[in-house]
Every structure is written in C-alpha cells, then in structure tokens.
Structure 1
Amino acid sequence: MINFIFPCLLALLISFVLTPTVRKLAFKIGAIDRPDCRKVHCKTMPRLGGLAVFLAFTGAVLFTQQLNNKLIGLLVGGLLIVLLGILDDTRGLPAKVKLVGQIAAAAAVIPFGIQVEFITNPINGDLLHLGIWGIPVTIFWIISVTNAVNLIDGLDGLAGGTSFIAALTMAAIIWQQDGTGMEVTLLALVLAASILGFLRYNFFPAKIFLGDTGSMFLGYALGTLAVMGVTKTATAISVIVPMVILGLPLLDVLFAILRRYQSQRPIFQPDKEHLHHRLMALGLSHRQTVLAIYAVNLILGVSAFLLTVLTTSQAALLLFILAVVIIVTANKIGVIGKVAPTGTSSSVSQNLRQRSSKM
C-alpha cells in the first residue's frame, strides 16, 4: 500500500505548492485569458495551470518509479503536448496547427510500445488483432480524448474534476480487472492526485485556469493510460469501457459536431451550446453546473465499473439504458439541436456572464 500512498502524496504536494508559482509565471509570460462574448469569466485570468499538474505527475513518476519503455513514452508524449499547450496559451495557435501537434504527441508513444493491439467483438468476444492498423486507431483515440477534455474546459474546475473522476474510475477498473496492471493503476492514481492539488486553486471561484497546457495534457494522459490499461483486457465489453469512463467529454464533442453540421458551420468554430453552457442558460449557477456535471461523471464512472463485473447481457442492458437516458436528456436541454440564432446566442452569453459575476 505504501507503494501507492507515497507517490500520490508527493504528486498532491508538488501540484499544491507549484500552482501559485505557475500562476505568477503565467502573468509574466502573457499566458492570460481575457473575457470575450463566448466566455463565462468576467476578468483577465492566468492560464498555464496545467504546467503544475504536468510537473507534479512527472516529478512523482520520476522520483518513485523505475523507468521502462512505456513510462518513457508516456512522459515524452506528455512533454510534447504540454509544450504545444504552452505555445497556445501564450501566443495562440490555429486549430490546424494544434491538431498537427496533437498527432505528433500521440504518435510519439507508438515507438515505445503503447498502442491498441486488438479490439474485442462485444457480441461474441472474439479478438480482432489490428496489426499495423493499431497505429492510426491509437492516434485517433488519443487525439479524440485530448480534444474532448480540451473542449469541456469551459467552467472553473470542470475539466479538472471530470479528469479526476475519470482517472479514479480507470484506476479502479484496471485494478479490479487485472492484477498485473498495478503500474497503470498507480499512474492513474498519481494523475488524480496531481489534479486534486491543482483543484484547490481551480475550483470556483478559480484563481488560475488549466489552459490548453492542462486540458490537453489531461486528455492525452487519460487517453494514453486507457490504451496502456483498459484496452488490454480481452473481455467482450472492454472496447466500450473507456468510452463510458470518458463518456461526458466525448459526447460533448460528438454533439458539438452534430450541431455545427446541422447549422452548416465549420466543425472547429466554437459556440455557446456545450453542456455546461446549456445548464447555466437553464438557470443553474456556475457552481451548481459544475457539481451537476461531476454527478453525471460519477454515474458514468460507476456504470463503467459495473460493465466490467456484469455478464454480457446485463452489460448490454445497462448500455441501452444509458444510451436512451443520454439521448433524451441531451435533446431536452438542447445540446444536440441547432444552435440559437446569433442575437439569441449573444443574449444568452451576456446572461451567463452576469450570473457568473454575481457569484
């Protein structure tokens, strides 16, 4: 047990101590986020908070773990995505440039043996070995999770708390499924501890934002850890479990794509119709919105864990129930339908910012 406790406490301490220093650094190098019509906050805020999370995670791993190929690959890719995030937080990068950088970071793990090797058929349990096709599948998965967490980072503590819950869920599932996955279990717990130390400064009202440095690193780390751990189990439901663990950010991305396609807008063009925007527009406060989404993440996390202990038929029933509830709820609160007209969207934006500034 001490092998788990000490690395986690070290990561928590590093993150907690470093975040105020990183906050000062953000102001010095211009990594700041100014309010605009699409954002909820009403004052200039420092970004770059993810640097503290990355340094805490990396420091704890380097100090307590014996390096191997996969650990090196995880840290190398993480460094690349953090450097990309720093550039975006300080200078601003076009979406296409960021995508190229994300592909490079995701591809960096492949030579170190981190890749999806097979996919389990959820119907009959047969293994489909991917061979060389495992490379694009791995890159696509890591990029998808990276951008999913990046896009959900719209309220104080939202992306951090979502990632914290996902990391804990991942640790529990890997520990329960496979006794040989202790290394990945530990890494997920260290990531969770690194986030927790930062959340002290990031939960509403935030003193610092994750920035793209943090949201992309968290998405990258969760996506890579899923490849290293969850996808390695040869159970019929293993192909679904990572998607349920990260269900909310992944669905938010999917719904955003559907909305923008319906309204014939560019996929990369941001809007104010994400889940957290819609909940606040319906009357929830900033804090209530974040806590409500935490609750949804917890439900999905418990569901993901149950999928690994239920029979195939029971798991299929649970997935069906989840799918129905998600689609009905998403349609009801308006995250699937077309975005509001420009004037309406602007009015909603002003209301959200006014509500946030009063809390």
Structure 2
Amino acid sequence: MIPFALQYIIVVVLTMMVSVIATPLVRFLALRIGAVDNPNARRINKVPMPTAGGLAIFVAFFLATMCFLPFVVIHISPRGTYFEYILPLVLASGIIILTGLIDDIKELRPLPKMVGMLVAAAIIWFFTEFRFDNFKIPFGGPMLHFPAWLSFFLTILWIVAITNAVNLIDGLDGLVSGVSIISLTTMGIVSYFFLHDSNIYLTLTVFVLVAAIVGFLPYNYNPAIIYLGDTGALFIGFMIGVLSLQGLKNSTAVAVVTPMIILGVPITDTLVAIIRRTLSGQKIYEADRMHLHHRLLSLGLTHRGTVLVIYAISFIFSLTSLLLNVSSRWGGVLLIVAMLLGVEILSELIGIFGENRTPILNLLRFIGNSDARQEYLAKKRAKKEAKRKNRR
C-alpha cells in the first residue's frame, strides 16, 4: 500500500502538471474570447497581452481538490470528509473566477465586481468554518468572542479586503504569482506546525494551491506570455483571505498576528495607498502610479529586478512570521516593532507616501546630522520671529 505522504506528493505533482498543461490552452482561449489586456497609461505592457490566466490555476486546483484529494484523504475528521470540507470553498471560488473572467472580457464596473466578492464571501461564512468569530488580542490581551452579526461583518470585510489588496499589487509579470507562492507556503508551514486549532485539511489545501500557481508561474514570469488577469488575482486573493482566517481566530496571540505579517506586501501597499490618497485629497479608490512596484521602477530598477526585490520583501515578512512563532513574548514585541520601523523607513525612502512625507527620516536626520539640526532650529526660530512681527 502506498503511504499517504507519497500519495499526497503525487497529487501535488499532478496538480502542477495540470497547471502547466492548462495554461497554454487558457492562453489560446483568452485570445479567442477577447480576454486581452490592452496597453494604457497605467499598464506596464506595451502590446496587447492575453489575460485570464488564473483560469488555468483554478482548473488545476479544482481537479486536485474535487477529484484527486478526496480519493487520497480517506481519514474522516470531526469536520467531516475532505469533499464536504472543500466543496463550499470551491463553489465560492468559482463565483470569484466567473466575476474575474467577465471583468477580463468586458471590464466590469466596481459595483457588480464587489457583488461577486460579497456573494462568494457570504457562502464561506454560511457553509464553512472559515469565520472571524473570535479574536485573541495579541501579547496578553483577552479572547474576544463575536456575536453572529459581527462575525459575519468581519469575515466579509477581511475576505474582501485581502482579495482587493492582492488584486492591487498585480502590476508586473509574475508579481502576484511569486508573492502568493511565498505567502501561501509560509501559511502552510504555520498551519501544520504552529496552529493549536489546526486542521490537516487546511494544510493539504494550501499546498495544492501552491502547486497550481507554481505550474503557472513560468508562463507569467517576465517576459510573460499570459497575465493572471482579474480572474487570477481575485481568485488568489480570495483564497489567501479565506485560508488565513484559520489563524485569526486561533487561541494564541502569535497565530493572530502571523497571517497579517505573511500578507505584509499586499496589506502594506493597500494601507499606504489609502493614507497617501487621503493626505492628497484623493478618493481612496482612485488609481495612481504610486504603488510599491511603480516607485521601484521609477528608481531605475528593471521590470525583473523590481519583481525580485518585492519577492525578497515578501520573504522577509514570511521569515519574520516564522520567527515570531518561536519567540518569547517580548522577543515577539521587539520583532514586530523592528519590522514596522523597517517598513516605515523603506516606504519613506522609495516615496510611496508621496513627496516630502518622511517623518522618520526627518527625525533620524535631526538626531544624526548637526547641520540639519541647526538648519531646522534656525527655521523654527525664523517662524517664531515672523509670528511676533505679524502680531505687532
């Protein structure tokens, strides 16, 4: 009899092979149905590019979870069979795929796009255990238990927010694919080794999803021959948002913080975009060219170099999340403070907050540069003198 571990490895390899084979077929289909990304002021591509590549990832994931794994995972947990566990998730993600595919062909308005995400997220809350029903305040705080209405609201908010955050960083060849592989792999490791209320089904699902994305990445890496499109970016973001909920409701404080750190790149880029647009008087949903990948390109990095830098940043976030799970309480606090400080300094250095918004760099310059300190004090004295003259 073949051991379970070997059977699962075979499933992972088969999933990756299905993705490898399906991607050229999806590319052919995208060109025929008009799922093409045409160049414009905000696009990086200079020629029309077939999109909707996420459909290949979904096909591989669907076959793995609905056909391969149910025959391999014969253990029945308290949550039921694997098929019962995964069916609502596949149905919900199917709605996301349909929404993204229509958007790639016809470019949907924000409202119908949001409706698709809300319906899919509602299915998750009603028919799965992926719910934001309790939350442990990190580092010594109490365990909060939410009533059903608040659990529903928080679950929908988290899933939709992460889905959109991942979609926002989809601006370069292979960017979302690579970052999601790093994030999901870390999530799988954490779910298996560190979550107290974990479920082996979660770990199995995470790694077959990683395999499906790995099979697609060679076609999507620079120079890409097909894009993820909203079909893929929304699907990957939705799956990450749903699967990360397991950690957010765990009984340990570290498990609560971990998924937020693992998703550091999309979360940080989205939060900074909201802050930047608010300070600039823009609407928070207005598009601009100030995202992390745009700023790195403007600093002179190549397309591929920018993607590799963001991979490295994502890897640092993931490594931090793993270190957090083996650190003491105060070690974890210091680790998070250092990480937040590093994120702030990096954001100011590359200018994603906007022009002249560098409070930490200004403070460091004031502390470490006597000329800058004297210049600042002189300006302050000049302002006080000007105010006195105006009063007279």
Task: Return the TM-score normalized by structure 1.
Answer: 0.91
Aligned partner of 1:14 among 14, 18, 38: 18
| 2:57 maps to 1:53 | yes
| 2:143 maps to 1:127 | yes
Tell me which of the two structures has the higher relative contact order, counting C-alpha pairs closer than 8 angstroms and 6 or more residues apart. 1
User: What does 1:19-30 align with in structure 2 at a 5 Å threshold?
Assistant: 19-30=23-34
State how far apart, in whole Å, the 1-side matches of 2:118 and 2:262 are: 22
- Matched with 2:368 is none
- Matched with 2:299 is 282
Corresponding residue SS for 1:119: strand
- Fraction of identical pairs, as percent: 39
Corresponding residue SS for 2:290: coil
- Matched with 1:79 is 94
Is 1:116–1:138's contact at 8 Å kept on the other side of the alignment? yes
Letter of the 1:256 partner, please give it: A
Q: Paired residues, what number?
A: 339
Instruction: Give unpaired runs (5+ residues) of structure 2.
Output: 71-81, 357-392
Aligned partner of 1:116 among 132, 151, 160: 132
| 2:217 maps to 1:212 | no
- My pick for the range that moved more, 121-130 or 156-165, is 121-130
Aligned partner of 2:107 among 76, 79, 92: 92
State how far apart, in whole Å, the 2-side matches of 1:271 and 1:6 are: 44
State how far apart, in whole Å, the 1-side matches of 2:23 and 2:354 are: 39
Is 1:72–1:112's contact at 8 Å kept on the other side of the alignment? no
- My pick for the range that moved more, 287-296 or 181-190, is 181-190
Is 2:19–2:57's contact at 8 Å kept on the other side of the alignment? yes
Letter of the 2:183 partner, please give it: A
- Matched with 1:247 is 264
- My pick for the range that moved more, 289-298 or 66-75, is 66-75
Aligned partner of 1:200 among 214, 218, 221: 218
- Matched with 1:32 is 36
Alpha-carbon distance, 1:276 to partner: 0.4
State how far apart, in whole Å, the 2-side matches of 1:289 and 1:178 are: 33
Corresponding residue SS for 1:239: helix
Is 2:136–2:249's contact at 8 Å kept on the other side of the alignment? no
Aligned partner of 2:66 among 62, 66, 74: 62
- Matched with 1:4 is 8
Is 2:250–2:256's contact at 8 Å kept on the other side of the alignment? no
State how far apart, in whole Å, the 1-side matches of 2:261 and 2:158 are: 14
State how far apart, in whole Å, the 2-side matches of 1:299 and 1:337 are: 24
- Give a deviation string over 1:90-126, Cα, whole Å, max 9, x none: 0001122212221111111111132122100113253
Alpha-carbon distance, 1:260 to partner: 1.4
Is 1:19–1:52's contact at 8 Å kept on the other side of the alignment? yes
Corresponding residue SS for 2:255: coil
State how far apart, in whole Å, the 2-side matches of 1:233 and 1:258 are: 30
Alpha-carbon distance, 1:232 to partner: 4.2
- Matched with 2:341 is 324
Is 1:236–1:312's contact at 8 Å kept on the other side of the alignment? no
Aligned partner of 1:185 among 203, 222, 225: 203
State how far apart, in whole Å, the 2-side matches of 1:251 and 1:72 are: 32
Letter of the 1:272 partner, please give it: R
State how far apart, in whole Å, the 1-side matches of 2:344 and 2:85 are: 37
- Give a deviation string over 1:259-315, Cα, whole Å, max 9, x none: 211222222221111000100100100000000100011110111111122122111
- Give a deviation string over 1:139-187, Cα, whole Å, max 9, x none: 1111111001101000000011011111100001011114852211111
State how far apart, in whole Å, the 1-side matches of 2:61 and 2:185 are: 15
Is 1:256–1:274's contact at 8 Å kept on the other side of the alignment? yes
- Matched with 2:252 is 235
Structure (1 or 2) with the larger CA radius of gyration: 2
- Structure 1: 4+ residue segments shifted above 4 A: none
State how far apart, in whole Å, the 2-side matches of 1:121 and 1:247 are: 19
Give the RMSD, CA atoms, in angstroms.
1.6
Is 2:182–2:318's contact at 8 Å kept on the other side of the alignment? yes
Letter of the 2:334 partner, please give it: L
Alpha-carbon distance, 1:338 to partner: 5.4
Alpha-carbon distance, 1:134 to partner: 1.3
State how far apart, in whole Å, the 2-side matches of 1:291 and 1:193 are: 20
Is 1:15–1:53's contact at 8 Å kept on the other side of the alignment? yes
Corresponding residue SS for 1:243: helix
